[in-house]
Amino acid sequence: MASEMLVDHREKALALLKADADKILKLIKVQMDNLTMPQCPLYEEVLDTQMFGLSREIDFAVRLGLVEVVDGRALLEQLERELSVLHEASMKK
């Protein structure tokens, strides 16, 4: 029973972190589409703040033993790749 709870908590933690990463991606996409360009200091500030916050969330989940370090890094790397694709697409407009 205890191991089932731990697995459930780990799955929930990873799902919440993925949801937060998706929110960041959507926020940046909206910002790029409607408000500012990637060269804008506001864009960079929002991106830096959001990425830092997510990395802290991941670190906290890792320290609690809910997320493996490798999974946390993979989540951040995936988000960075997706943001890079968005950035490149906006530069081609």
- Domain residue ranges in the chain: 2-92
Pick one of 3.60.10.10, 3.30.460.80, 3.40.50.620, 1.10.287.750 as the CATH number of 2-92. 1.10.287.750
Q: Could you tell me where the DSSP H helices lie in the chain?
A: 2-30, 41-64, 69-92
4-63 pLDDT, tens digit per residue, is 776 789 999 999 999 999 999 998 888 877 765 656 777 788 889 999 999 999 999 999
Contact 28, 47 (CB under 8 A): yes
Q: Is 35 exposed, middle or buried (0-12, 13-18, 19+ CB in 10 A)?
A: exposed
Model pTM score = 0.84
- Residue, of 59 and 87, whose pLDDT is higher: 59
